[in-house]
Structures are given as C-alpha cells and as structure tokens.
Structure 1
C-alpha cells in the first residue's frame, strides 16, 4: 500500500468486472487513491484484517464468503471501511440486506462508469466525514462538554471562576486564589464548584489544560515542553504525568496516533 494514500479494495469473483472497476478507478484517482483487488471473500477478509481499507466495493454473491459475510465480519471494527455493494437486478434483495448491515450505496450490473464514479466519490466523502467526526469525538473531553455556564442552576460565582480559568490557563493559580477573587471561602467554593459542575475544581483545571494541549498537539508543531508550558505546567515531566493519567497515553504517542498523513485534522 502506498504511503499517504487511502485504499479502495474491489472484491469480485468475475475477472472482467473486477479489473474493469480497478482500471476505471485508477484512471479517475490519478494517484490519489490506491486501488487493490481480491477475487474472493476469503482473500478480502484476510486483507481487511491486516491492512487499512477506506472503501470496500464488493459483489454481494461470491463462493465461500459472500459480500454480506464480509460486511457482517466488519461489525465492531474500529477501522471499518465504508462499503458499496454490487449486484445483478435479480439479486436486489441481497442489496437491501447489505444496506441494513451498513453499506452506504449499491451498484447494479452492468456497471455504468459515471454512476460508479458518482457513488465512489460520495462514499469517500462519507468516509472522510466519519473519520473527522471520530477524531473530534476523541479530541473533546466529554466531562467538559457537560459543563455549560448557561445551564440552569449555575450561579455567578462559579461562572466567574470558569471564565477566569479559561482566560488564565497558562498561569499558575490555586483554588484558594480563585475563591478569593470571587470573595468566597475556599472550602465553601470547593463544595459549590463540584455541586454545580459535577467535577472538583482541580479536576476541571486539569481536564481543561489537557484539552487545550490535545488541540495544540494536533494543530501545531510545538514541542511537548512548549505545549505543557502554554497550558500552565512548569515542567514537561509533570505535564506528561497528568496527560497520561487522563488519556492513558503520552502526549507524543497521542500526537502520533491522531496526526497521520491525509487523516490529519486540519
């Protein structure tokens, strides 16, 4: 598989159909995608288990392992490709089952070149949107999403604290200092903050700092130490420790996982 290109796998036991699709897609792709083929479901299943495939185009009826079997085997796979199925008019009930299993579109034989390209382009757009959505979900801390300053029941002192932390995240501050700024006793502020946000003040600050760090890891080329400093950590050692406690991986590993070639969030 070529580096920095997405892979399309065409699976069909009819050589003319398989090679015809490959040739049309390679001409259209002009190097933007790698187009591979498999002549049976067994070989396709092996490839799907070993390498990343972004778009699977498969005949629904094949000996041993059918296209439907392939789609079923992808259930729960975090690297599941988008799927287009191919069938004859007499096999349309298989198409309906394939769509229920998660295929995004279908093509009927004999294949029309313009229809093939239209369906493939649409499927690849869906794949890109899905990848972007998944990455954004991994980027955003769900606990932070639950904290809304506009929600009913959140008082002005906690809102002021949230705003201050947001604006001074790079600085060093303590809960007692924040409580003093909003004229509250530190112990009372601690209880109030957790009651209205669902997390302790220290956990909120850590999560927000790591959230900002994740954004910088994906969108900048700053070093780990520079990012740690920009989100309020005085040593990269402590920054890495907090990051790993919340994300289960180091900052450098996180950056490697989520910034790979064409899948990088822009």
Structure 2
C-alpha cells in the first residue's frame, strides 16, 4: 500500500523480539508493516528489499551491533528513524547513537507505555521529515529569494508581487498589474525585470506553478481542474508550461511526491 510505513525490530533475543512485535502489531491495528530480524545481516537483507522508516534495534548483538547496523543501513542510502534498545545503561553507546541520529534509547525490559511513547515520537519525526521534503519540492527558491530581499525591492514592485500572489488564480496581464501599481506598462516591465531578475511573464508563470504544485501535493484534484484553479484555460497549455519549468508533467510530479513519501 502506498505511503505505508515499515517498522523493523532487530534483536537476537527471540522472546524480546516477539514481544515487541506483538505489542506493536496490536497497537498499530494494521496501519504499518512490521518486520523482525534476529541479527544485522538479516536486517540488511530486509532493508535491501524495502525502505525502513522506523528501526528499533538492540545495541548488543553478535557480529554486528545496533550502531553498526544503523551505519550500514545509512551507507546503503536509507535514513530510518532509529530507537536503541539495551539491557544495560551504556553511556558510550548512547553517545554514539546520538551522533548517528538515534531519537530514543530504551532500557530493557521495555514497558508497553515506554515503547509506544518512543514509537509515537519517532512517527512524528518521520511525518515532519516527509512534510519538509514535500515543501522543499514545492517551494520555488528563486521566488522565495525575491521575497527575502523584499526590503531591497521598490514599493511598486513589492505591491505588484503581492497583487500577483493574491490573484494567482486569475489570468493576469502586465497591463493590469501595471495599472494596479500606477506605472506605465513599459516602464513597469523594465523595472520589474531589473529588480527581480525575471520578466513579468516568468514571475507570473512560476507563481502559478508553485500554487499548482501545492494543489498537486495536498489534493487529489484532476490536472485539468488544477489548471483552471491557477488561471489557465486549457490543461494542454498548463501541462506544456509545467513540463518546461519542472522537467516533468504534473502527473509525473504528483507521482514523484508519492514515491518520496514511500522512501
């Protein structure tokens, strides 16, 4: 299933491993895919087959300890949120775990309450990572850079930018925006390009496409409807423009966001 999280429990003690899995399976009620492994090698085989989102691993295991397992998984391109388990209070291990990005450290025997508290905290971190990843793909850095330098931009250009953002769903024209900021269209066009580094049409297109990307991420609206919502009368033109700026069609972009959420 798309966007399902994978939880991997790694512990060489069968009773502990099975107990943790049973607790999480009962709590999760089928929301997550939960796997178990008795050692690092078995865990790496599972990690090669699917992305691991949450890793709960014992520190002390034969041949490959928990910290070595985390490093090995990271070296293979995955970055699971990790929780360490240990039967001892091992400060040095905990310190190294912090350096590896471990988010929690649980002493055995782990109570149900402590386990679920740690897992829920880890799930919040996973969700925040996904949200940040999506935002990074949606935000147009050049548009954001112009807004950050707002104080260096003349007031008429600032007003024009805000007018464009407020009316991103309308089929804006240069003359309309120039009139709104009380400037001659020719002068406004030159001033806008000089102060933003983009032509008026480029800025409008990128603003509309950023709005479209937000809709592609946050809704299931058809591409044609999204095109209308950002001010384009035909889906064909919108798709052509989107591909020109983003290097992929809107549908491909939406799939890429979904695929990112699965990794």
Shorter-chain TM-score above 0.5? yes
Q: Give TM class, smaller chain.
A: 0.7 to 0.9
Which structure's residues are more often helix, by fraction?
2
Q: Does 1:214 find its partner at 2:213?
A: yes
Are the equivalent residues in 1 in contact too, given 2:44–2:73 (CA < 8 A)?
no
Once residues 156 and 90 of structure 1 are traced to their aligned partners in structure 2, the CA distance between those partners, rounded to angstroms, is: 61
Question: Which residue is 1:58 aligned to?
Answer: 57
- C-alpha distance in 1, partners of 2:210/2:253? 12
1:153–1:4 CA distance, 2 compared to 1 (3 A): closer
Change (3 A) 1:210 1:226: same
Alpha-carbon RMSD across the aligned residues, in angstroms, is 2.7
Give structure 1 regions of 4+ aligned residues with deviation exceeding 4 angstroms: 76-79
Deviation at 1:99, TM superposition (A): 1.5
Partner of 2:160: 161
Structure 2 residue runs of 5 or longer lacking an equivalent are: none
Q: Distance in 2 between matches of 1:224 and 1:3?
A: 20
Instruction: For residues 158-183 of structure 1, give each alpha carbon's deviation from its aligned partner in whole angstroms, at most 9, with x where no partner exists.
Output: 12322332243333344355335544
Residue of structure 2 equivalent to 1:117: 116
Q: Is residue 83–residue 105 contact of structure 2 (8 Å, CA) maintained in 1?
A: yes
CA shift in 2, pair 1:176/1:78, >3 Å: farther
| Structure 1 length-normalised TM | 0.85
Deviation of the 1:240 alpha carbon:
1.3
The verdict on how the C-alpha distance between 1:166 and 1:124 changes in structure 2, with shifts beyond 3 A counting, is closer
Counterpart CA distance in 2 for 1:76 and 1:236 is 42
Higher relative contact order (CA 8 A, sep 6+): 2
Query: Equivalent residue for 1:147?
Result: 146
Aligned equivalent of 1:249: 248
